[in-house]
Amino acid sequence: MSFGFAQKVITPSIPCKLAGYAVTRNAEAVHDDLYVKVFVFQHDQKRYAIAAYDLLAVDHLLMNRVKERCKQSGLHFSQLTFSAIHTHSGPSGIIDSNHGFLKAAKSLLGEVNQAYIEYLCEQTLCALGEAVSELSEGSVKIAFGACEGIGSNRNDAELAGDPSLWIMEARHEDKKALIVNFACHPTILKADNCYISSDFCGAFADAMETEGYAMCMYLNGSCGDISSRFTRCGSNFQEVKRMGDKLAQAVKQLRSSVAPFELHTLVHTTLSLTLKGRVPQSIDSAKTMVEKRKAELEQGKARGLSTQEIRLLENAVEGAAADYLFALHDEGIREYPLNVEMLKLNDEIFIGFPGELFSQLSNPYADAHTHFISYTNGYQMYIADADAYDKHYYEAASSPFAKGEGERLMKEIVEQIKKWRNQK
């Protein structure tokens, strides 16, 4: 298989606003640079590429512009996939917060920054062009294992998390890259952080660079309900490094079991579905619930509840606030188109979602050869399981989709997986 890879810095200029938390934050400095990382490969004279960004998410504002510029520049791809690590310490202004249900998330996403989007486009084109120019035969190895102690279910510590870890090492004679699929919100850094950073994903990449990798691409898994809420020992850069090193150590151990991978068959499809939309509460009812949840939080603090218990009460407040904003910005949309990209490389199946997929939905179907990737080709917030709606979790309150639509979506995906698995 011929392949090429490259990365380019996409760190914004200071000052800029940060995305991911519902408080306005101005970046004060850069702790670590952000990157766009691309991997291009060729099979049966068709060219494929994935571009992964150290950003909260990407959507049509960037994707369409990159595709347009590729066409103008003569860069042709049979499939160009976009993904993001979902750091909450990167710039805002990259997602369309002016239309549809994401208007309710404007405090998280910020106002659109067209100048920065154009910069992202230019850097992506540079990286793609460099990767294409380096296309050549090389060796590819893969392995599947686990990394414990970084992420867990962030709403219920008793529920199963998703420690699954898949790695691919692509090596030319004098240059090698690493691609990793692992599920965890990069939110060790909290809303009081005002430094630009790719969180533990960047610390992990730094650790792997000391192992000789020219590029380390992180593809986030089904982390809609996975974070370090119950596993982290702090929310500072020391903890960021500790978690990054922990993932690096798991990868180093896994490298001892890598197996050669030669691409023989490639199948690609996009499942296009329409999911039912959530019906909001009345504005008055939603506002009343916000006050109720706030009162419960204050009562919990007065009773001296643990930090973790307080965090869950804060989550309930955030959920009620999200419900209120959803009701406030309701445009009467009750159906949402959603595209899921599916790629089969030999026996390895990759499923990409334009949002934050719950591991509780994907865990029953994930295995050593079936891998889920969130924040892919768009951003439509959370894809939650029915239980999250019953328990009024923030994630369900932030989702535009009706209860049960996550399960219906997975049913369609599983049918496609079975179809591919049954083919000889």
pLDDT of residue 310: 86
pLDDT of residue 419: 96
- What is residue 423's three-state secondary structure? coil
pLDDT of residue 319: 86
pLDDT of residue 173: 84
pLDDT of residue 287: 93
pTM (two decimals): 0.95
pLDDT in tens, 139-168: 999 999 999 999 999 998 888 899 999 999
Rounded (5°) CA angle 369-371-373: 165
pLDDT of residue 424: 61
pLDDT of residue 315: 81
Positions in the chain short of pLDDT 70: 424
- What is residue 365's three-state secondary structure? coil
Domain spans of the chain, in order of start: 266-422
3-class SS string, 114-162? HHHHHHHHHHHHHHHHHHHHCCEECEEEEEEEECCCCCEECCCCCCCCC
pLDDT of residue 326: 87
pLDDT of residue 24: 84
